[in-house]
Structure 1
């Protein structure tokens, strides 16, 4: 019995303790939720717009972030209804503009919004809340005040547009009509009515309509609707358009001219005759050309607003006059001959005798050979090749003697880079046991290991390392040998003939060298001064000329040489060193230009004729090719 009583008392005590702790815990949970009602549920009021925002207190500027979020929430309550009498309804296409306009206008309103106030703020250990409100009545008053101010400015622009249109100043009229619309951009969704010249008009709608009517009065006419391009096309092709209204030319009208498929070429202003012209250069010519189109460039008006999102709405919804010129491109008749030098033929290349003074200095004239619009496609994909000098200067390549004892006509070359290095016959290296000239064009591929490099000696009187050095590397790049040396090298001359030519060249240029070094030219100041004068004239002569792929170099009554490359890019990378070869030969062996154009034409015609070119090059020069692709042709 006593045991039963004891157990009963224990059970009662457990129940008392259980309820004693459980009930206060529930009450505490209810009492701890002290969040204000506006945090628990966003309030709705007929008289005010409400915005509630929160931010984590882990943020550095959490209070600013919460206020920004509250303002954005408030702006979300401001709905934009598009009036059927508004200009926005005329621009509207599939609802896309209204939705985007509403987003942009809210961002604009956020910068100008006044009279909103902070109602309350609340925070916990981890979060911070802010509540904003804006009186709908105050907002309507602020908006009305802003509309009145904007309308006054817009009326001034509109009246100037009317005056400009009456005097046929069409570019000015277009500019002021656009400014009228931009002045009222925040009210495009509404029917903004005002009085102009004694007449009540919806100013945005009226401006938009008159602007479109004005644009419809303008017309663009291509001088030649179809332009024929042929393989023999030389130089640039002028493409002309004329802007008129009521049969009168329009001056200073901005035209955006685009070439398909390349894209926009630029904006051109019409002249006093209402004309604008684009020069279709060789660099722009492709067999894939379709048309060139000129269009009134509305983005050129009211330039201070060009980045304005609203400006894009106007431009994107107006009809602007345009006119196209189509290209009729005659495809080549690809006559191939076995073992020819395709695409180095008269169907793809032409010699340019124009502006000979631009390419002539003292004893040297360079005659450009240009690729026509089909040459690039016929040439195919051309790899990126790094010139030898650039590779040496940047440490991409190492050239050394074959061994410590050396071998006169062989060096070793190793490519340390991921680029392919283009080595050209005639390039002179300084160092090692004697200076050398490279004997053959080569492409040195990445990770190709040590490759044997055929060379000739151009320093007969030395067979030892300079200054007691034992380093077998060639660290200095001299440049290109003159054309006489290059000619001997490419015709597989023997070493004795090379030494004889070096001696002859040094004697003619009054070069003294204890080791009979061709590179001793660099120490002769008189020779260097004369060379520098030529270089100053020629070094940038082909800058920005994207169609030149080679030159014929002439001096006196002789053709020194001709170099042709598979691409304009490769020609322009190699020209800075080739020009030394042409210059040095003109100084040493040349004379005043007396060769006739007819003789040069016969020379080039033989070179570019598929029936004769292979035998001609085999006799006078050398072809370097990689697989089936010819990289470089050198003839003398």
Structure 2
């Protein structure tokens, strides 16, 4: 009996279930998760990054893992902001400094050098990679890059000072920017050196020199106040901006300016350069807001010194600079509109003028004023609508509504906009209700398509 039990146990241990269990255990041993996946390695010698990619067939999971590993690695590299750095002198706000740190880390992930792949691990769904970077080697590379950057920045700084002393302050601003661009990754630390026998903090000096030049510029607009029609093209407006040197009163030619609505909205050409007389004509083509009082600001365009692709860091720093600025106060007049309309149901005048009321409400909401005196109106709007009976299909009646809308100028009676809502179809249990349905659909078409077109046409 004992022999039979032993034989049975041996057979059971060799059965399929036992074999599967052994295979599972063996499988687990063949591809165990490495220790660095369970706990990120901590070391004084290396920056460490662990990255992950998903094998979902929609992306290159190896590159995805590499990218996330480098981002993880870079997150260990801290930016220590000195109390004497230009960042601290510009703004004590922690949010400002955090933005700078984030920008530095974003660019560092793309520029990191000499990292090494330590290990990788994968299963059918996931791919993990382990990178590291020698802290000592990283700091050696960064110090060399910093020395090169400082040499270049000092060269531009010297040229800027020479241009400034030669009376070419705009060229000086350009050189100061290039010097700034060279060392923008090192704004968190004081770069102390000797210039013309004096000890200076280079980044702070570049920033202060740029601000000093800007403080000496004056921008004015003529006129500074303007009364104009909401339909700008009818106002014959002309705004000139002028830039001069406060000390010498001489015009500043080739100075980049920018214009934008500070209050209200509309279309104003954004960028300019002053001519030899220091002037630029500001091009205002459209008033988009219904506000009766609006403002357009004209200021020195610092980002223009950076070319077409200013760095995010310079954009951040320049936003803290005080730039010369002038404003144009716009007193906007509401155009007078006269509306004539005939709305019908099957040739009979309707008591409820749905299309007309929709257009009236839209125009008043957009800053136009309605008038009953046609002679005073700047715009004439004519509306004509009617419904017609269509076929009957069983108990369903079909009706079509056609609407014609025309807009003309009051003085010249020149048509500036015309549209037709052709045979908008309505269905219902009788013709009257089908007509109402078609009118309702016409109102939807007006809202979504025609009224924005109409507004754009009459504001040109």
Measured in 2, the distance between the counterparts of 1:230 and 1:186 equals 49
1:296 aligns with 2:300: yes
Question: How far does residue 106 in structure 1 lie from its aligned partner after superposition?
Answer: 2.1
Which residue does 1:261 correspond to in 2?
Answer: 264
Question: How far does residue 195 in structure 1 lie from its aligned partner after superposition?
Answer: 3.0
Measured in 1, the distance between the counterparts of 2:374 and 2:274 equals 41
Give the direction of change, closer, same or farther, for the CA distance of 1:285–1:270 in structure 2 (3 Å limit): farther
Equivalent pair of 2:184/2:314 in contact (CA under 8 Å):
no
Counterparts of 1:615-626 in structure 2 under 5 Å? none
Measured in 2, the distance between the counterparts of 1:331 and 1:68 equals 56
Measured in 2, the distance between the counterparts of 1:444 and 1:123 equals 62
Other structure's SS at 2:148 match: helix
Which residue does 2:374 correspond to in 1?
Answer: 344
Measured in 2, the distance between the counterparts of 1:311 and 1:571 equals 37
Which residue does 2:364 correspond to in 1?
Answer: none
Question: What is the aligned counterpart of 2:282 among 258, 278, 281?
Answer: 278
Counterparts of 1:115-514 in structure 2 under 5 Å? 115-229=114-228, 235-245=235-245, 246=247, 247-259=249-261, 260-263=263-266, 264-278=268-282, 288-306=292-310, 308-328=311-331, 342=372, 344-346=374-376, 348=377, 371=378, 420-421=403-404, 446-447=423-424
Other structure's SS at 1:184 match: helix
> Greater strand share, 1 or 2?
2
Deviations 1:360-403 (A, max 9, x none): xxxxxxxxxxx4xxx5xxx79x98x9xxxxxxxxxxxxxxxxxx
Equivalent pair of 2:177/2:306 in contact (CA under 8 Å):
yes
Pair member with larger Rg: 1
Aligned residue pairs, count: 367
Give the direction of change, closer, same or farther, for the CA distance of 1:448–1:81 in structure 2 (3 Å limit): same
Other structure's SS at 1:248 match: coil
Question: How far does residue 137 in structure 1 lie from its aligned partner after superposition?
Answer: 0.4
Equivalent pair of 1:305/1:311 in contact (CA under 8 Å):
no
Deviations 1:118-177 (A, max 9, x none): 122233444333221111000000000111111111112211221222233222222222
Question: How far does residue 319 in structure 1 lie from its aligned partner after superposition?
Answer: 0.9
Equivalent pair of 1:54/1:69 in contact (CA under 8 Å):
yes
Give the direction of change, closer, same or farther, for the CA distance of 1:81–1:275 in structure 2 (3 Å limit): same
Measured in 2, the distance between the counterparts of 1:344 and 1:415 equals 34
Other structure's SS at 1:249 match: coil
Give the direction of change, closer, same or farther, for the CA distance of 1:415–1:185 in structure 2 (3 Å limit): farther
Give the direction of change, closer, same or farther, for the CA distance of 1:57–1:442 in structure 2 (3 Å limit): closer
- Aligned-residue Cα RMSD (Å) equals 4.5
Deviations 1:393-451 (A, max 9, x none): xxxxxxxxxxxxxxxxxxxxx998x9844599xxxxxxxxxxxxxxxx996654269xx
Deviations 1:60-104 (A, max 9, x none): 633333222222221121111111122222344532233232232
Equivalent pair of 2:287/2:459 in contact (CA under 8 Å):
no
Q: What are the ranges of 5 or more consecutive residues in structure 1 without an aligned counterpart?
A: 1-5, 335-339, 349-370, 386-413, 425-440, 450-565, 573-636
Give the direction of change, closer, same or farther, for the CA distance of 1:226–1:304 in structure 2 (3 Å limit): closer
Measured in 2, the distance between the counterparts of 1:43 and 1:282 equals 61
Measured in 1, the distance between the counterparts of 2:251 and 2:372 equals 49
Q: What are the ranges of 5 or more consecutive residues in structure 2 without an aligned counterpart?
A: 338-369, 385-397, 408-417, 427-453
Other structure's SS at 2:374 match: coil
Measured in 2, the distance between the counterparts of 1:568 and 1:172 equals 42
Counterparts of 1:14-25 in structure 2 under 5 Å? none
Measured in 2, the distance between the counterparts of 1:442 and 1:282 equals 22
Give the direction of change, closer, same or farther, for the CA distance of 1:140–1:330 in structure 2 (3 Å limit): closer
Question: What is the aligned counterpart of 1:53 among 26, 51, 63?
Answer: 51
